[in-house]
Amino acid sequence: MPLLTRALALIAPPFCWACGSGSTAVEPLCRPCRAELRWLGPETVELAGVETWAPVAYEGPARALVRALKFRGAAGLAAPMAAQIVAGAPQHLVDPRAALVPVPLHPVRARRRGFNQAERLATQLARRTGLTVEDCLCRRGHARRQVGLGRSERLAAIAGALELRPGARAPAFVVLVDDVVTTGATLNSCAAALRAAGTRQVWALAYTRTPGR
């Protein structure tokens, strides 16, 4: 194998992240898996008070990509995922006044994983939009297991867990960035922490969201 091909294969393995079949070295998904992605269209949704947009539904191959980004440390995936977000994101969500703020991981999880996948996506979004990344939020307290909690308890557990980093300044306009959005509870508590610190407007961009909301 020529050296360059071998180097490329190390960065982006030439197999599909969803089904494991042969793929090209540049696309993270093979053609059939790409065809299976369910595109959500240009409309934004209001999730727990935050206007949100994501290109694809959280199911099938999109779920596999998110998992690979999160658990297998597939750093090369953040770039194509960010490219898909930028390609379809409504213009007003890429407000030139806004800063990109990654949804923070719990510190214990971040230590174990070694990176925050939302921060990786935000960095790639910044390269494509010219917006800056301001990693100004953090989670406090211990990771409370949410399994076994009721919905309202779960929302409360998340709601109390986010705050501005010590010494950080809240940007006036914020685009929250996450890999996947489901109920919007986390976005809501991020937005609450930011608004309490002076942020005027908060939107959110993600790679996938649960459809039907």
What residues line the site for Zn ion (CB under 5 A)?
16, 18-19, 30, 33
Distance between CA atoms of residues 184 and 54, nearest Å: 12
Q: What angle do CA 165, 168, 169 make, to 5 degrees?
A: 130
* DSSP 8-state class, residue 49: T
Q: Which is nearer to Zn ion, 84 or 186 (CB)?
A: 84
Distance between CA atoms of residues 81 and 86, nearest Å: 9
> In whole angstroms, how close is the CB of 16 to Zn ion at the nearest point?
3
Q: Which is nearer to Zn ion, 33 or 191 (CB)?
A: 33
User: How far is C-alpha 120 from the geometric centre of its chain's CA atoms?
Assistant: 8
Is 204 in contact with 187 (CB distance < 8 Å)? yes
> In whole angstroms, how close is the CB of 147 to Zn ion at the nearest point?
30
> In whole angstroms, how close is the CB of 27 to Zn ion at the nearest point?
10
Residue type, 143: A
Q: Which is nearer to Zn ion, 25 or 172 (CB)?
A: 25
Is 54 in contact with 85 (CB distance < 8 Å)? yes
Q: Which is nearer to Zn ion, 45 or 64 (CB)?
A: 64
> In whole angstroms, how close is the CB of 80 to Zn ion at the nearest point?
14
> In whole angstroms, how close is the CB of 115 to Zn ion at the nearest point?
25
The helix (H) or strand (E) run that includes residue 209 is: strand 201-209
* DSSP 8-state class, residue 103: P
Burial of 119 per CB tally in 10 Å (0-12, 13-18, 19+): buried
> In whole angstroms, how close is the CB of 25 to Zn ion at the nearest point?
14
Return the axis-axis angle of helices 60-71 and 117-129, rounded to nearest 10°: 110
The total number of residues written for the chain in this structure: 213
Q: Which is nearer to Zn ion, 68 or 126 (CB)?
A: 68
Q: Which is nearer to Zn ion, 18 or 136 (CB)?
A: 18
